[in-house]
Structure 1
Amino acid sequence: MRSGLSGSVEELSEKIASGLSPVTIVEGCLERIHTLNGQIRAMIFVNEADALDAALQAEREIQAGRRRGPLHGVPIAVKDVVDVMHWPTTAGSLLLRDHVAQNTAACVANLQAAGAIMIGKTNLHEFCTGGHDNPWFGKVVNPLDASRGTGGTSSGSAAAVAAGFCAAAIGTDSGGSNRSPAAATGLFGYKPTNGLIDTKGVMSIAPSLDCVGVLARSTRDVRLVTEALTGKRFSRPRDSGSVKRTGMTIAVCPALTGAPVDSTIERALAALLDQPFVRTVEIAFDDTEQFVAAGLTILQYEFARTYQDSIERTPDLVGDAVRVFLEDGVGISADAYDRAVGIREDARRRFMVKMAGLDALAVPTAPGSAPRLSDELTQVNGEMVSWGMAGGRFRRWANMLGMPALAVPLDVPDGLPVSVQLAALPGRDAALLDLAETLTGT
């Protein structure tokens, strides 16, 4: 069997430039999907003919000297809330089983223009709100450990990269949905500044929180794919030597999550920041509980306004978890929503002041390592806690505050990787990725 992809986008791009055929790459990915997807359940739609046709076209263009850039011939998977023309977009739900996209999402069109090859659609939590056990497509199994899950909601996107089905994947993030599965699978998961990547052609979950982002094996891969998604080059990365000479100031903010984390994460984060060019400061966050509750109110209210009619017409075509989530959203009044929006705006204004002059913020991505597949619980200092429910504390803050946030994997001796998020002020995506590359060397 051809081996699955285990290297980065950057490494694969170099091999393609040196003569490796995109057709050979895609054939290997498809063979690996055939062999392993029945166990992992990362992919819910694969169009072999389209992928092979695109690979052959890429091969011919590259051989003719018309290489489009570093993503030309690189296979990428897409979360099944993002439209690819003539492919189904189901949101992981039976309700949309017959929905076929008539156009391609703007961000995917940008990827295709850069020469990337769409290999298929990935599994997810139903409508990005259901639990980890999708009633129609099943639980996504963690390729690092079959007894563990991946978190979500971009569960299949993370598993597809970790399993070598593709070089990178596109997910969506309305409250941590890229960063959560990246943390569970040892990947980099990116949520950009709100609005940086065009969401036209992407199913909305909560319009004021929704973002499109990347799951990949390195910071440099995240940069390459994000640039392609936006259709724009970021500013040239700063030389890491100059960054190390001038230093960087990174804030920690335990009050932002207001919850304990496992000691392995505390040690791994301390080791990451224990570098001679890093200065750390602790900053405060006010009214954490009110802020967390406001985030859930906004998410549920906006979801209900979007999907109430279609789900209530045929409620048996969605799972129990989605119905409960919708019912909670329907019960939220417009006044309660407006109050939650006011809380968000006040928190954003105050926190931006605290972040002024700082290079980044470091926050654990999850309270523990990858959750158990059976019940999505993770161990935190000997106690089992919910991985998914922790999202409201550990991850949704970035969507609420509009900040770019990158989940960074951290190795644990004799254990599964853990993860920390690095975040920056809105609009400072390029600077954040520069900083992350300097810290991690990838």
Structure 2
Amino acid sequence: MEQADIPFLSATQLASLIEARQVSPEEALHAYLDRIEQVGPKVNAYITVCADEAVQQARQAGQEIQQGRYRGPLHGIPVAVKDQVHTTGILTTDASKIRADFIPTEDATVVAKLKEAGAVIIGKTNMSEFAIGDSFSSFKGPARNPWDLSRDPGTSSTGSGAATAARLCATSLGEDTGGSIRGPASLCGLVGLRPTWGRVSRFGADGACWSIDTIGPISRTVEDCAATIGAIAGYDPKDPYTRQVPVPDYRQALTGDIRGLKVGLVQDYLDPEKSGVDPRVRDAVIAAAGVLSELGADVRDVSLPLSVNCGVAIRTITHVDRVSLHPEWLRERPQDYHHNTRVSFSTANLIPAPVYYKAQKVRAMVRREVLGALEDVDVLIQPTSAAPAGVMSMDGTVASKQQAKQALHRGGYTGPYSLTGTTAMSILCGFSSEGDGGLPLALQIAGRPFDEATVLRVGHAYEQATPWHNRLPPI
């Protein structure tokens, strides 16, 4: 195999070659570093490329494998990590001037788990400043969507989505509060899994909203996603909110058999007047439901009438919580925030307590609605995003009122499962026509708390029955 071809293998395909000693971890790493050098400046997916540290990790992985100590499917695999997740001795900036010199002295638990699995940490990915949820507030400039460099790569795990889609890492970690794993996965044509709240430790990750934040994988295939979540999931005494729930072998759940599973197609997101869904997205999701039905699933219509209106609720809760983490920065260093972040945090300080309280009441109502629906079906399916990736401001100008409204609208699609605390995954389900840019379209699959295995199983069955995941971005 030519070294230049290695980045175009899925993580699990590469893992098979590494296990068989047909490709060494060092060969894999250098193939990715070469591609980062060639393509990286166009995509701006990384804040820090950890070349020196990665070379040492790859060399160690290679030695272990040669000695017969193969650790599993991430051993020797180049993995990228969102830059709000702490890495010992490596810059961790939150994409902000305020953290521009911060170097942690301890790994986040998810990073420690990746290292235990033998993964090679290739770099720290770009993001929205402090995960605020726009596309261009990073002090390093915005990441670009590899399918069209003028388009939005999704928020706030912008670089994790862009790097994975552009083949600048084999798999990656993002962080999802209101949809920041699923959004980039949706717009970049990837698989992004929001784990159940409490499934993955957040120790060592700079937070946005303590009661909603999750860390999870952004990957190219469902099997890659299953391997990645399998490495990082589990109880952590350093994070008191993690649950002592057994972690299954997620890859074993990918049987391809979904016969008899009950799938609820959420109708509220398929009505353009009610939800504003783009007809291209609606048609792709309906077609995906048809594929699941052909595979033997029992697809039935369901309704979540409150959910499409929960964008305002989740924005209220997360912004108030976010600005409360470091109020001194807004008082003492307001000029060091991007304009959008400063306005967002300042506005959050003005939200009255009764409004925050009402948002929490809406959250409770949405939670009852979603969990009630999941008593009758095994998974819920709907669009991840209302439309394909939109054109992004190329000069980093201030977000318009229209963009702010779009952010609230996006929250209506991903927010229900964030507010509920259950698991949800975005998976590629088609493309717009070439005349419309050939942009990715995405299906969201949500499941019961701590039942990531069923969500992955449904997504894998759909993925294997369709050709979409084989298409490459034109970069």
* TM-score for both structures, normalised by structure 1: 0.92
Which residue in 2 is equivalent to 1:367?
386
For the 8 Å contact 2:310–2:412, the answer to whether it is kept is no
Q: What amino acid maps onto 1:429 in structure 2?
A: E
| 1:182-208 CA distance string (max 9 Å, x none) | 111110011111111000000000111
Which residue in 1 is equivalent to 2:455?
432
Instruction: Name the CA distance, whole Å, in 1 between partners of 2:289 and 2:193.
Output: 20
Cα RMSD for the two superposed structures: 2.3
Which residue in 2 is equivalent to 1:116?
119
Q: What amino acid maps onto 1:243 in structure 2?
A: I
Q: What amino acid maps onto 1:91 in structure 2?
A: D
For the 8 Å contact 2:258–2:297, the answer to whether it is kept is no
Q: Which runs of 5+ in 1 are unaligned?
A: 377-382
Q: Does 1:265 align with 2:281?
A: yes
Instruction: Name the CA distance, whole Å, in 2 between partners of 1:230 and 1:194.
Output: 11
For the 8 Å contact 2:154–2:188, the answer to whether it is kept is no
More displaced stretch, 140-149 vs 21-30: 140-149
| 1:300-336 CA distance string (max 9 Å, x none) | 1101211222232111111111111111211123333
| 1:140-166 CA distance string (max 9 Å, x none) | 111122222202110100111111111
Which residue in 2 is equivalent to 1:285?
304
**Residues paired across the two proteins, number:** 435
Structure 1 pair 356–27 and aligned structure 2 pair: CA distance change class (3 A): same
Which residue in 1 is equivalent to 2:15?
13
More displaced stretch, 405-414 vs 294-303: 405-414
Which residue in 2 is equivalent to 1:379?
none
Q: What amino acid maps onto 1:6 in structure 2?
A: F
For the 8 Å contact 1:4–1:164, the answer to whether it is kept is no
Which residue in 1 is equivalent to 2:69?
66
Q: Does 1:417 align with 2:440?
A: yes
Q: What amino acid maps onto 1:392 in structure 2?
A: G
Residue of 179, 185, 197 corresponding to 2:200: 197
Structure 1 pair 130–280 and aligned structure 2 pair: CA distance change class (3 A): closer
Instruction: Name the CA distance, whole Å, in 2 between partners of 1:387 and 1:182.
Output: 18
Q: Secondary structure at the match of 1:2?
A: helix
Quote the offset at 1:239 in angstroms.
7.0
More displaced stretch, 14-23 vs 388-397: 388-397
Structure 1 pair 205–355 and aligned structure 2 pair: CA distance change class (3 A): same
Residue of 251, 255, 258 corresponding to 1:243: 258
Quote the offset at 1:390 in angstroms.
3.0
Q: Secondary structure at the match of 1:390?
A: helix
Q: Secondary structure at the match of 2:93?
A: coil
More displaced stretch, 417-426 vs 327-336: 327-336
Within a 5 Å distance, the mapping from 1:259-408 to structure 2 comes to 259-274=275-290, 275-276=293-294, 277-288=296-307, 291-374=310-393, 388-408=407-427
Instruction: Name the CA distance, whole Å, in 1 between partners of 2:18 and 2:116.
Output: 17
For the 8 Å contact 1:367–1:387, the answer to whether it is kept is no
Instruction: Name the CA distance, whole Å, in 2 between partners of 1:76 and 1:92.
Output: 19
Quote the offset at 1:99 in angstroms.
0.9
Q: Which runs of 5+ in 2 are unaligned?
A: 235-245, 396-401, 470-475
Instruction: Name the CA distance, whole Å, in 1 between partners of 2:447 and 2:11.
Output: 24
Structure 1 pair 160–176 and aligned structure 2 pair: CA distance change class (3 A): same
Instruction: Name the CA distance, whole Å, in 2 between partners of 1:58 and 1:207.
Output: 35
Q: What amino acid maps onto 1:14 in structure 2?
A: S
Q: What amino acid maps onto 1:427 in structure 2?
A: F
| 1:281-301 CA distance string (max 9 Å, x none) | 222224457633221210111
Which residue in 1 is equivalent to 2:232?
229
Within a 5 Å distance, the mapping from 1:98-113 to structure 2 comes to 98-113=101-116
Quote the offset at 1:338 in angstroms.
2.6
Which residue in 2 is equivalent to 1:380?
none
Instruction: Name the CA distance, whole Å, in 2 between partners of 1:260 and 1:82.
Output: 34
Structure 1 pair 435–186 and aligned structure 2 pair: CA distance change class (3 A): same
Structure 1 pair 36–255 and aligned structure 2 pair: CA distance change class (3 A): closer
For the 8 Å contact 2:308–2:413, the answer to whether it is kept is no
Structure 1 pair 240–131 and aligned structure 2 pair: CA distance change class (3 A): closer
* TM-score for both structures, normalised by structure 2: 0.86
Structure 1 pair 62–174 and aligned structure 2 pair: CA distance change class (3 A): same
